[in-house]
Amino acid sequence: MATTHDQRPTTRIGYGFDSHEFQPGIPLKIGGITLIHDKGLGGHSDGDVLLHAITDALLGAVAAPDIGALFPPSDPKWKGADSTVFLREALKRVHGAGYAVANIDASLILAAPKIGPHAAAIRVRTAQLLGVRADCVGLKAKTPEGLNLENAAVAHVVVLLEKRRNPKKLRKKTRKKTKRL
């Protein structure tokens, strides 16, 4: 067992990308936070573009199937679903593989609303969901200059995982943290 663990890489990197179209009359959720806006993000589940990109980055880091394979948009079960469900499943797979999240870095690209006033709340919430400190979540928001993407939100995320020596102990700790939320 120990030999198997030692053969695993010390760190792993994951990358996730997602995009959703704005639609009127639905709530806007980004990073697990509901933002006041006249439009929300349509499509898969609650349309949380940032949580979807983080989920795919986590899954990619441990070479697991991607979010669309695990939670097919065609399955009515996931319509309007809370995207934290996807993120928790990805995290479970990361921990199951014996890794923990070291840090993530995200870029959000959208014309409106302005993310600046909400950035701190989004980082804190995302960090809570990932079981890391808020200073381990980087978040940049950019407007889509020259991209003709006025009615879409795009997220790019990279995640770094660290190998843990005692995966069982880590899983216990994470469960406890999650309960406190």
Which residues of this protein are in contact with Zn ion, per CB under 5 A?
Answer: 18, 44, 52
**Closest by alpha carbon to 161, among 106, 99, 104?**
99
Cβ–Cβ < 8 Å for 94, 100? yes
Which one, 29 or 52, has the nearer CB to Zn ion?
52
The dihedrals phi and psi of 154, each to the nearest 5 degrees, come to -125, 145
- Smallest distance from the beta carbon of 85 to Zn ion, in angstroms? 13
Which one, 66 or 105, has the nearer CB to Zn ion?
66
- Smallest distance from the beta carbon of 80 to Zn ion, in angstroms? 13
- Smallest distance from the beta carbon of 6 to Zn ion, in angstroms? 36
Q: Which residue is nearest to Zn ion (CB)?
A: 52
In angstroms, the CA 56 to CA 91 distance is 10
CB half-sphere exposure, 73, CA atoms < 13 A = 10
Which one, 66 or 162, has the nearer CB to Zn ion?
66
In angstroms, the CA 123 to CA 120 distance is 5
- Smallest distance from the beta carbon of 83 to Zn ion, in angstroms? 8
